[in-house]
Structure 1
Amino acid sequence: MTLADARGLALSTDRPASVAGYAQALDLFNSLRTDPVAVLQPVLDEDPDFIAGHLLMAGFMLSGFDAGLLPAARECLAAASGSRLRPNPREQSFQAALQHWADGDMAHANRLLDRHLVDHPRDLFALQLAHMSDLVLGRSQMLRDRIGRVLAHWSEDDAGFGYLLGMQAFGLEECNEYARAEALGLQALERNPHDTWAVHAVAHVYEMQGRVDEGIRWLTTGTSLWQRDNALAVHNFWHLALLHLSNDDPASALAVYDRAIAPGPASMAMDLADASALLWRLGLRGVDVAGRWQSLAARWREQAHWGWSVFNDVHAMLALVGAREQEAAQAGRRVIAAVPAAAPGPWWAEAGTVCEAVMAFGEGRHAHCAELLLPLLPDAQGYGGSQAQRSLLHLTAMEAARRAGDAALWRALDSEGSARRPARGRPSGVSCAARSLAAA
């Protein structure tokens, strides 16, 4: 007996209760609410042959973008392979992509999901995982166009259609189509106020357009459901802190860090990356955050998996350098240098260079830091993350130039940043002392 989900996709199980639990867990994941794992695990305990359920659990593990979860994802995929039931073609295709991801090759998995979604455009879970991996891999155009590819196969009445709008909103924002992004994000939230990804997309629009006061209101009084029991809460609080920085209010940004971003027992790698990025930006502005680096660096020493993710490795390096743990930073740098440039994925040829630049900045070799970063800035998309996250490289190069006394480079980078986005005032993260250099 084969049953189907709310979008008509066949699921290899003969138990209606398994399909109901699958649907509940998936909807929690779609809106990034907690805890879909707790909902799904009892289903798998009762129905160990539920192939789609094991694939769902594997995807939950992989969505953490934390190499420490890869073994758990592989166990889930092995359980799917060990089912007494025969997987259908969609499940076979999806499992093949997830297997590459669990084996450490997210880039290959992402390409397999390209084709999977052409053949199975109503596979909402595969679509959301692909969208997330597009972000981590820096495939900005695909953040928009992947959703566009499947829309013709959906209708507004389909279960989960609002989540497509939220994903499309973020993709449009990353492609600088701000008006459409804002409109679709708001539409998604009208359909489902729990759609945290849509909240996130609209917050990006406000930040990138320099609508700082609107952005702060949006994340403090305009929306609130994302602030509790949500996997994206730390990241959205990070955006709130950036808006405070853009408002020349580092004290409020630091307060947000202490209240909502500083690592806790359950922090994943992406949460630690947000913590590193915020403390580094505060440091670029001359704010004393030295005492906070120590606990963050300690967590990175536990959770860093050098050589798997450029994005994670650079943020781990920020923490180690910020905490002045040169020996640990050098050890990480050696591992990265030993990774074959073509093996894990895009931009690995440059990963070591960025980490070296971070170390140079921490050691006061600011001219060398700027020299290393300057040729990488035009191709920073490969670093992964959003425009807001990638701007850290530009800000670091800019502040390195200022501290090195390179007025020409500082002016060039400042002009570039001003021309690229209509942000109000200085880019968040630039030291107030830069004013005097600009006037020199």
Structure 2
Amino acid sequence: MHSNWRDCKAWLDNGLPINTTCNEAAKLYDASLTQYVGKYNDMNVGGLEKSMEDTLRADPNFVMGHVIKNGLNLLGTGTSIQFDNKLATDVDTMVRLCFNQQGLSDREKMHVNAVKLWSVGKMARACDIWEDILLDNPSDILALKFAHDTYFYLGYSNHMKDSLGRVLPQWKKDTPLYGYLYGMYAFGLEETNLYPEAEKFARMGLEINEKDVWSTHCIAHVMEMTGRHDEGIKFMSGTENNWAASGMLCCHNYWHWALYLIEQGDYSGALGIYDEYVYKTSKSTGAPLHFVDACSLLLRLNMEGVRLEGRWNDCYEVIRPHVDDHVLTFNDNHILLACLGANKIETVKRMMTSIKESVVKCTGDLANITKEVGLPICEAFVAYNDGDYAKAVDLMYPIRYQVWKIGGSNAQRDIYNIFLINAALKSNKQKHRRLARVLLMERRSAKPCSPLTDRLIQRTLAIHTG
């Protein structure tokens, strides 16, 4: 675990001067940055949240301390300046300090501008600015990681890949945090279907640091997308001690493990992971990163015909504070699933109304994505829950090639493909049942080794011959 934090001179020597004379603030900023990039909490500094707070206690006027704190609050997608007055004030304070400080570099000013744009929904424009920073400062891993994560939210897979492809050759191996670039590049490669290359770079990252949870996560994706479920289970169980302590991503890695089990039809095993890790983490943190995994697993198990007992109600209690947030369309889709699963009809009505109102009132990338894709998906979920499977198909099928816009990974978005097939199988229209058959052919062509697909094909045959 890295602990040789950089002071003001070290930042200058690395070509990334920061506008503070407080060495304690500089070191705590480095500690915060390292934990963010590495996706872990270092309790030697009290964890990521505390180290960010302590950075600003050491120097309340340290602009980059405000940048990383506000940026991570926004990228966490659990809050927004539209309804969080403190966050709005914090962003305003960051901007004011930027304008009032002498000696602030253009790079630091650009960081402030990017976070400000993100806060008002202009996520793609924020990424443009971070890429501009990287043109002259390729070792600025905060710009690189902020852009990488935002591309993920926007579904910009090629951007994720190419951003790292431009930067990685310019880094020296002794540059702090160098090893983490391999996992980031690997993820971009995986999301653009370059699976052998992705696995190669992810394993290079793990050779440098076996606890690199992002590289582990990327290999989990590769094995999911290539149908290597037995190998995936063996890999996750064999490396569990290396990644399970990562407070930020361990829940999601367990989610991947559960996907392998669902593919194999091991529903009790998948429920065990859900109960012991995914739900418990979601309940403990209340973070969108965690509760979307919980909702996703429950829907997948539900569509497999698994009895979930009171799990939807428990999940609903986790997401309930976020029903009216509308920070990300991807989050909204999963929050709605919990409302539907728990049969909270009035909450569903309220949520659908507020989503439609937010599309009218809000501007920026997310409002457009919600209008074009997010709202039809939500309407399809409601129709399916009401038993109107034909309507669900008619809503989902025309936008199936636009779903990438809501962000997330290919593996996460696969739930929409499975949902469409299930809706088509249940529809009373013969056309939809034919559609289900050809979608399953398409699915098998893309991923020949999928027991889940085989089970759905058997259901199709039963309907056809019944």
TM-score, length of structure 1 as denominator length: 0.93
User: 1:320 and 1:166 mapped to 2: Cα distance?
Assistant: 35
Moved more, 239-248 or 326-335: 326-335
Partner of residue 395, structure 2 = 372
Residue type of the alignment partner of 2:140: D
Instruction: Identify which of 286, 300, 316 aligns with 2:335.
Output: 316
How many Å apart are 1:242 and its aligned residue? 0.5
- The aligned runs of 1:252-291 (5 Å cut-off) are 252-262=269-279, 263-291=282-310
Q: For residues 247-274 of structure 1, what are the alpha-carbon distances to aligned partners after superposition, in whole Å with 9 as ceiling and x for unaligned?
A: 1111111111000111313220121111
User: 1:7 and 1:437 mapped to 2: Cα distance?
Assistant: 65
Q: For structure 1, list consecutive stretches of 5 or more residues without a partner in the other structure.
A: none
- The aligned runs of 1:50-129 (5 Å cut-off) are 50-67=62-79, 71-83=85-97, 85-86=101-102, 87-129=104-146
Partner SS, residue 451 of structure 2: coil
Moved more, 351-360 or 332-341: 332-341
Residue type of the alignment partner of 2:21: D
Partner of residue 38, structure 1 = 50
Instruction: Identify which of 364, 389, 411 aligns with 1:388.
Output: 411
User: Conserved in 2, the CA contact under 8 Å of 1:206 and 1:214?
Assistant: yes
Q: For structure 2, list consecutive stretches of 5 or more residues without a partner in the other structure.
A: 1-6, 42-46
How many Å apart are 1:316 and its aligned residue? 0.9
Residue correspondences, number: 440
How many Å apart are 1:438 and its aligned residue? 6.6
Partner of residue 347, structure 1 = 369
User: Conserved in 1, the CA contact under 8 Å of 2:79 and 2:325?
Assistant: no
Partner SS, residue 400 of structure 2: helix
Moved more, 76-85 or 210-219: 76-85
Instruction: Identify which of 225, 241, 246 aligns with 2:263.
Output: 246
How many Å apart are 1:339 and its aligned residue? 3.4
How many Å apart are 1:306 and its aligned residue? 4.3
RMSD: 2.3
Partner SS, residue 230 of structure 1: coil
User: Conserved in 2, the CA contact under 8 Å of 1:137 and 1:384?
Assistant: yes
In the alignment, does 2:433 pair up with 1:407? yes
Partner SS, residue 402 of structure 2: helix
User: 2:332 and 2:386 mapped to 1: Cα distance?
Assistant: 19
How many Å apart are 1:126 and its aligned residue? 1.6
User: Conserved in 2, the CA contact under 8 Å of 1:58 and 1:73?
Assistant: yes
User: Conserved in 1, the CA contact under 8 Å of 2:389 and 2:427?
Assistant: yes
Partner of residue 225, structure 1 = 242
In the alignment, does 2:168 pair up with 1:151? yes
Q: Structure 2 vs 1, CA of residues 212 and 7 (structure 1 numbering), >3 Å: closer, same or farther?
A: farther
Residue type of the alignment partner of 2:24: A
Residue type of the alignment partner of 2:392: C
Partner of residue 25, structure 1 = 32
How many Å apart are 1:296 and its aligned residue? 1.4
Residue type of the alignment partner of 1:436: A
Instruction: Identify which of 61, 71, 79 aligns with 1:49.
Output: 61
Instruction: Identify which of 206, 211, 214 aligns with 1:189.
Output: 206
User: Conserved in 1, the CA contact under 8 Å of 2:316 and 2:339?
Assistant: yes
User: 1:422 and 1:73 mapped to 2: Cα distance?
Assistant: 47
How many Å apart are 1:223 and its aligned residue? 3.8
Moved more, 253-262 or 116-125: 116-125
How many Å apart are 1:159 and its aligned residue? 1.4
Question: Equivalent pairs: percent with the same residue?
Answer: 29
Residue type of the alignment partner of 1:36: L
How many Å apart are 1:430 and its aligned residue? 5.1
Moved more, 294-303 or 192-201: 294-303
User: 1:260 and 1:8 mapped to 2: Cα distance?
Assistant: 41
User: 2:75 and 2:356 mapped to 1: Cα distance?
Assistant: 26
Residue type of the alignment partner of 1:370: V
Residue type of the alignment partner of 1:164: L
Q: For residues 38-94 of structure 1, what are the alpha-carbon distances to aligned partners after superposition, in whole Å with 9 as ceiling and x for unaligned?
A: 123223112112111121212221231222586554444344345464321111001
Q: For residues 178-229 of structure 1, what are the alpha-carbon distances to aligned partners after superposition, in whole Å with 9 as ceiling and x for unaligned?
A: 1111111011111122221111101000111111111112211224232124
How many Å apart are 1:172 and its aligned residue? 0.4
Q: For residues 356-412 of structure 1, what are the alpha-carbon distances to aligned partners after superposition, in whole Å with 9 as ceiling and x for unaligned?
A: 000011111111111111111122211211000111111001001111254311101
User: Conserved in 2, the CA contact under 8 Å of 1:31 and 1:197?
Assistant: yes
How many Å apart are 1:100 and its aligned residue? 1.6
Partner of residue 142, structure 1 = 159
Partner SS, residue 122 of structure 1: coil
How many Å apart are 1:355 and its aligned residue? 0.4
